[in-house]
Structure 1
Amino acid sequence: MSASIGWEVKNNLFSFLKSLLGKDQGWKDSLRSNFSELFRHCLDIERHAIVEEKIQPGQKGRVYFSGTWWSAVCEREVTLLPGDHVRVIGICNITLIVEPLGQLLA
């Protein structure tokens, strides 16, 4: 996502939340303190995929991501099984690079 598109998304989200919260001035402080976390969470959700075909170390599998199926690999020495939720961390040509959700980076 380019920086300009990112700011456009933030501004649209901010305007939407403002309209929901009305004219109360207390919303500004609450929104400012929670906005970054909310936006980070929204971006995180967009990067999640579901394994459709087993991904073994050094081998491609398949994930369902953003409404379609993609080839995917995992750079870690783990086997990802169908139904596992993964995070998309990159792309190489037309193959997504994924990692298991909930695992800390080494």
Structure 2
Amino acid sequence: MTTPGPKVNYELAPGGVPTIFSVVTRNGRSDDAIGPVAGDVGMWLRISSLDGGYALHCSSDGRAWQLVRQFTLDFPAPVRVGLEAQSPIGKGCRAVFENVQLTNSRLEHLFDGR
């Protein structure tokens, strides 16, 4: 059985344009969504838990956030979080994860991610 969960990705779209994608997996089925076009120098990505739901945000500068997706998932605690870099097709990739944080704070505004 596939573990339920979300992911937010910075990846190349089929046309080679860096784009934000999100995936939510439930009952072994994935629901993929294409988000905003991203810059080619990296992005800030965030997953937030909020009152039984979750929100995915992206930012080009780590200060101004854009909502990518919100959703609920019904699965038992504890919630596990991880980072991953992959290149399932192509020549490979290089990924650098910087300023990784796990915080216990509450979003004041869901849509702008503050």
| Structure with the bigger percentage of helix | 1
| Structure with the bigger percentage of strand | 2
**TM-score w.r.t. structure 1 length?**
0.24
**TM-score w.r.t. structure 2 length?**
0.22
